[in-house]
């Protein structure tokens, strides 16, 4: 039996690329066997969190879409960057200039945005125009001590029509232009994974992260002391298996295969 699957009390699942492949129209296609795998996890008694860097919509709309695909999921089970960023903004009295997707703006409804003293960047998709990036640049460059908060740092993700640039590419552009280091809220930030573990009430050594991103999912989780699996779905590419720094505890063809192995150990 697989040593990596022993003594597990909780699972953290990436969403896009593990449960489904997103679509440019806001929809998407479930990955074969993933909805049933989620149901099996829940009936097994294992603790479960859905850990996503999704920043193109509110958690409520995101969950509604997933439930429409047949997934048993609720808003309370989702750990996402925007709510964490809102807590940070309020704690530090920061007023953001938002460079995010239009559908995510409601997550920041209770945050003061007048006279911005920081920039928050997410996966803005079509809002990543030159004019919008330049406006964010001007806000940052005009500060004595620029504060750039990024809702993730992914390089790209997969939609049904192919790979798409993610927020990390645009974050790096602003970092370079403004000579600033972004504060990342979301995977692979250690605080993001620690928050998900705390919400489950499971220590890192008894949890497994399952994701399609070798750096942000697998590497981030392992740095927190978790085991981490990479699925060969979503943005996975064969070259990931030769990554110079990150080595998953195992590769699995899909979520269903991982769940099969884990549940055999219970």
> Tens digit of pLDDT for each residue in 177-186?
999 999 999 9
Residue 8 is predicted with a pLDDT of 96
What confidence tier does 146 reach under pLDDT thresholds 50, 70, 90? very high
- Which neighbouring-strand residues pair with 20? 16, 30
pLDDT grade for 25, boundaries at 50, 70 and 90? low
Average pLDDT over residues 169-194: 96
- At 126, list the tokens: 């079509």
What domains can be seen in the chain, in order of their start residue? 10-53+188-264 (3.40.50.1000), 92-184 (3.40.50.1000)
Q: What is the sign of the dihedral through the CA atoms of 266, 73, 75 and 154? A: positive
Round to whole Å and give the CA distance between 248 and 250.
5
Is the pLDDT at 26 greater than 70? The verdict is no
Per the DSSP assignment, residues forming a β-bridge with 79 are 51
**Is residue 66 a contact partner of residue 85, using CB atoms and an 8 Å limit?**
no
Can you tell me the mean pLDDT for 248-255?
A: 97
pLDDT at 73 over 80: yes
Q: What is the pTM of this model?
A: 0.88
Q: Indicate the SS3 state at residue 121.
A: strand
Give the confidence band of 160 by pLDDT, cuts at 50, 70, 90.
confident
What is the distance between the alpha carbons of residues 189 and 152, in angstroms, rounded to a whole number?
8
The DSSP symbol for 182 reads P
N-term to C-term CA, the chain = 12
Q: What pLDDT shows up at residue 161?
A: 86
Quick one: pLDDT at residue 7?
Answer: 93
Residue 1 pLDDT > 70, yes or no? no
Whether residue 201 is predicted with pLDDT greater than 70 in this model: the reply is yes
CB distance 31 to 254 below 8 Å: yes
Q: What is the rounded average pLDDT of the residues 244-261?
A: 97
Phi first, then psi: give them for residue 225, nearest 5 degrees: 95, 10
The pLDDT of residue 2 is above 90: no
Query: Is the pLDDT reported for residue 256 higher than 70?
Result: yes
* pLDDT for residue 115: 96
How far is residue 262's CA from residue 252's CA, in Å, rounded to a whole number? Answer: 12
pLDDT of residue 159: 85
CA atoms within 13 A on the CB side of 138: 6
Mean pLDDT score of the chain: 95
- Mean pLDDT for the stretch of residues 163-174: 96
Residue spans of alpha helices (H) in 179-219: 190-200
Q: Which residue has the higher pLDDT, 192 or 27?
A: 192
């Amino acid at each position: 039996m697989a040593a990596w699957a022993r003594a597990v009390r909780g699972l953290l699942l990436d969403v896009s690329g593990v449960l489904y492949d997103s679509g440019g129209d806001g929809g998407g296609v479930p990955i074969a066997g993933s909805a049933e795998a989620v149901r099996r996890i829940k009936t097994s008694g294992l603790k479960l969190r859905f850990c996503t860097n999704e920043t193109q919509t509110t958690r409520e709309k995101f969950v509604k879409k997933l439930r429409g695909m047949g997934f048993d999921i609720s808003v309370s089970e989702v750990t996402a960057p925007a709510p964490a960023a809102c807590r940070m903004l309020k704690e530090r009295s920061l007023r953001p200039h938002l460079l995010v997707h239009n559908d995510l703006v409601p997550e920041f409804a209770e945050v003061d945005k007048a006279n911005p003293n920081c920039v928050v960047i997410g996966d803005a998709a079509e809002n990543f125009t030159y004019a919008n990036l330049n406006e964010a640049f001007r806000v940052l460059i005009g500060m004595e001590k620029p504060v750039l908060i990024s809702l993730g740092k992914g390089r790209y993700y997969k939609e049904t029509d192919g790979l798409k640039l993610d927020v990390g590419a645009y974050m790096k552009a602003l970092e370079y232009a403004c000579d600033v280091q972004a504060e990342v809220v979301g995977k692979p930030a250690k605080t993001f994974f620690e928050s998900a573990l705390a919400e489950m009430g499971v220590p890192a050594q008894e949890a497994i992260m399952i994701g399609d991103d070798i750096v942000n999912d697998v590497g981030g989780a392992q740095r927190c002391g978790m085991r981490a699996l990479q699925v060969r779905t979503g943005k996975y590419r064969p070259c990931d298996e030769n990554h110079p720094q990150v080595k998953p505890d195992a590769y699995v063809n899909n979520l269903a295969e991982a769940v099969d192995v884990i549940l055999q150990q219970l």
